[in-house]
C-alpha cells in the first residue's frame, strides 16, 4: 500500500475519480469523487486485512435495511490497487454535516427534535438487526435535503 495521497488522480472501477484526499482514517481514506452521474460525493477506500468479505457483508446488511435515516451507499465492492485488496463505498451526495452546521450556528428546538428523532430511529433499526454504530459524532451526521442521515459505512455486528 502506498501513501493515500498517491492515489489522487486515479479512477477506480472505471467510474469514480479519486479527486482529492479528504481524510485518512487508519487503514482507510476518504476522497472526493463524483457518483457516476456527475454529482459530487465522497468515496471511502479501506485496505483489507483479509476481512473484505466481512466488511462487504456489513455494508450489504445496512443497505438491505433501507432506513431513510441511514446514509445510502450508492455503490460498494472490492478491487485491487497496487497489489492490495481494497473495499470501497461511494456515499450518497450530502448537503452538509452537523459539525459544519454547529460551527456556524446553534440549532433551533425543532431542529434538535428532528435530529434526535432521526438518530433514535436509525440507531434503533441498527440495534434491532444486530448492528452497532462505531462513530456517532457530529461529523458523521448529514443533511440530505430536509432529511437527517447517519453515516452507514462504519457499523459492525453487535
Tens digit of each residue's pLDDT, the chain (158 residues): 568 999 999 999 999 999 999 999 889 999 999 987 888 999 999 999 999 999 999 999 999 999 999 999 999 999 999 889 999 999 999 999 999 999 989 999 999 999 999 999 999 999 999 999 999 999 999 999 999 999 999 999 98
Output the CA–CA distances (angstroms, integers) from residue 4 to 1, 46, 51, 86, in the order listed.
Answer: 8, 11, 20, 12
Which H or E run contains 64?
A: helix 52-65
Q: What is the DSSP string of 82-135?
A: TTEEEEEEEEPP-SEEHHHHHHH-PPPHHHHHHHHHHHHHHHHHHHHTTEEES-
Q: Name the β-bridge partners of 149.
A: 142
The residue length of the chain stands at: 158
Distance (Å, whole) CA 133 – CA 157: 9
What's this model's pTM, rounded to 2 decimal places?
Answer: 0.90
| C-alpha cell at position 52 | 473484505
Pairing relation of β-strands 131-133 and 73-81? unpaired
Distance (Å, whole) CA 153 – CA 71: 8
Amino acid at each position: 500500500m502506498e501513501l493515500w495521497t498517491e492515489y489522487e488522480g486515479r479512477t477506480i472501477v472505471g467510474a469514480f475519480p479519486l479527486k482529492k484526499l479528504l481524510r485518512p482514517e487508519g487503514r482507510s481514506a476518504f476522497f472526493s469523487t463524483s457518483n457516476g452521474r456527475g454529482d459530487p460525493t465522497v468515496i471511502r477506500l479501506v485496505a483489507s486485512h483479509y476481512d473484505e468479505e466481512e466488511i462487504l457483508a456489513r455494508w450489504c446488511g445496512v443497505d438491505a435495511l433501507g432506513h431513510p435515516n441511514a446514509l445510502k451507499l450508492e455503490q460498494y465492492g472490492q478491487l485491487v490497487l497496487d497489489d492490495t485488496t481494497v473495499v470501497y463505498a461511494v456515499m450518497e451526495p450530502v448537503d452538509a454535516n452537523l459539525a459544519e452546521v454547529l460551527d456556524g450556528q446553534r440549532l433551533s428546538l425543532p431542529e434538535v427534535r428532528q435530529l434526535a428523532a432521526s438518530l433514535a430511529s436509525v440507531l434503533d433499526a441498527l440495534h434491532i438487526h444486530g448492528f452497532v454504530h462505531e462513530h456517532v459524532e457530529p461529523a458523521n451526521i448529514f443533511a440530505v435535503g430536509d432529511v437527517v442521515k447517519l453515516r452507514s459505512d462504519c457499523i459492525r455486528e453487535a
